[in-house]
Structure 1
């Protein structure tokens, strides 16, 4: 009886602690945010006195640390009260582990830690809560960063429908006595007292999140000198969640169990953040990574190199930077035929009218003053990318949506005109293909692919086919030609193949489309009588 009473008292104390910390976390987030934004603005404007500058840096670092801790406390409170609602989606676990390792890379280097990542290049598609998995991985990486002496190794495996991520690190070996205690809320290891800088909720939070996912987080019991944490969870079954297995390839859709609807998610967009201030760069990366796939660069030179090597959908850049500033980066991007279609958003404390006008003249799509709201920046980026996506979709799916309706800069306009003129001029040639288009435009196949993909979000062969089908729709609407004649006019010899392509592109057969056009002509004629 005494044991039961003591256990109940311990549970009450634990619940009181969680409730207390959760309440405090709610209360401190607003004033912390109001401190952080002015500090950022002051730091960006520059301080002549080095000592004052150092004080500001320390203040901002600790403000962000408190904001991070308050967020973890709120998550922990939600878990304890079973209020955390999971959002399941299909995602590539291999890519997520690699991205998390890349995110921690600079911190590992700065702290003299060697990070080895053993992840297959092949996709490992899982159906789970990506945000929860990311939190668990981040906690394990952060724990290893804090307590490892030198070496950290991450291994990802999958066997019989179970995913396992192991994070091993050297350093002080966790004792047998502490093996389970470290997963208790608010516990701090005695052996690592000199490295304490948290409140002891990282590992408990990670373990409870693992349980929510139907998995587990344990400290492996082996004889090695390493501390190895292993996180396991099921690959997931879409059929059990009332989702078609065919949706497994739709990486940009997510299931919200609360509403039980699939919604478009912007996480498939790649955004490059260019900022020379490491703290601001990391803050933007952390905040924007909730919605986008983020890469970073410390100045325009590094950014330009990354843009030429990998796919980027949008650039968010500061203006004042060493080596190459944001204005010069924007000019270079907009003058490069291969990159000119990438939207650019300026975020800067240099908010005078002349700078804004100059930035827009350079071709930038948006200009945001510091201090700014992360929500506003996120929504600006989302709106720019989603508007482009809708325009491309309309161009692809609507027979009479004109290419001129797609927003492009001057350099892209010239390219689009040359491209469309070349295809239209050779419309009747059945053997006109990508190589033919490359020859006319004097471009390599890879450059043509990259350019057309950036502007239209399709391959050159898909664009050639679309232009032919749009011309066919015009001719059908005109009403003077039979379907067989139209096939010859657009260089497609088989009417059945043409019908199949037309239906796949516009979700209507040529016959049904012809009937639709005839009815519209009749209605128009009657109205004019």
Structure 2
């Protein structure tokens, strides 16, 4: 205390004992001591022992005051002072606390940012879904008027035979198909942007598919005297690929190549399998060793270097205004044409399939697109893919539609007994379809799914044609309700819609739809679908009727039968020997109204409720007769109280008396 005024200690030296003495050598017992540790003690602490002891002191700065009294109990005016400084550990220092605060701030910022990002992601997801719905609705709004353009054009082409009329109608049809193709590309582009496009791969002959696709452009190439060639290296017979997306990629690239290649030029398509060892591909796809390389090159007008980096941007058009005169003395008429979405869609579809696309070009010499896609050989059974329609298929499609039109039922083949319910919210399209069907069938109309559902319950039609996108109740909901309700589950449903993606078709078919026709559609296709479905229903009716009348019914139904038939047969079997069990009792036991049961049996077996019961009883009677029962006994076993009436009924159905049947069988 005499030598030092301050004592510095580390945080683990916090157990302190200090001894001191008063300068009084006699009567030590009369001396009193006191001390105070400022920062810990608020008052002086008096004691008889000249010792101060503190344990587990927290780090900080303290001031120890010491004092003593004389033998008379008077405290000395001299107070000894010692400053104690216990230094904190490193993790409690000011700079460590700053680090903690900074870390806490970073954590809080990260959490807040993560929450904001999640909210933004949810909002973006909602926006993407809204955009997808918007473009789907736009597609619906485009496809319906296009149907009303292309449908009447087909009708007029059959009626007007002059060359000038055929040319004008073909021009209308061609531009309508071009609008449809543009709408399809916009929809695919929007879905790719919204991340809702999916790759639907299947196994098939890849080389044959691409070769067939290239050949579909030969007529257009011949018109411009362009040499179109296709070469393929050694490939596995079958591979996995998405036919629809690959066809759209190649169609866009080939259409561009032919468009910007002058008369007398060349367009070459090469298909090979190659291994790429580039570091970028190896990092992105470490498991992929073999790639499919598709090269499409031309000797057309080319693209200037400053515009080349932007050709895959959406709505960008590379105008080669400086190249007005092309090779072979031909003038370009294509500058500035197009909407600038074809190549953007090609890039999106390529990257969706884990592929890459590159382009090289020199103005006046031509352009080469190199497409790389993962190549995965397959051993699955081969599939044949129909090519998607392109702008170049219009003339051949028109010819085919005229040929198919010969098979359409005419008014002379009218089937007025068949009742068709058309559910469509667009009045003009509804009237157009009715006009084309009314000469052949009886047609009822509904303008939304709810009205269609009510009319289906009341009318029980033979077939229902329904749009998908409708107010109040959409077509998917209507189809689901129809197929779940036993009163309408047997009715064939054809969905007529602008939603044409694979997922949309699968959704409709999974709900029980019997047909799925995309807008715009050929009216002949709709008429053929109706005729085929009604014919299938008639065959099913014949099978069901035979199964409840013939003693040797067919072993296999032409189509899945309705569970109601099995239920009704079981009910009649349970009351087989009860003569009083008739149509009213069967209606009550089935849980359906009399009218609905009657309509259902008419649709399924072309029979009434009473005839159904009688035919089933007679079929069981034939079985009893074969087992050796007498005619009278058999009549009572199957619920006939009068054997004579039983014999007449049996003869009416089987063209022989029960006794004759018993002897011959």
Task: Please classify the TM superposition score into its range, dividing by the shorter chain length.
Answer: 0.3 to 0.5
TM-score by length of 2: 0.38
TM-score by length of 1: 0.47
Which has the greater radius of gyration?
Answer: 2
User: Which structure shows the higher helix fraction?
Assistant: 1
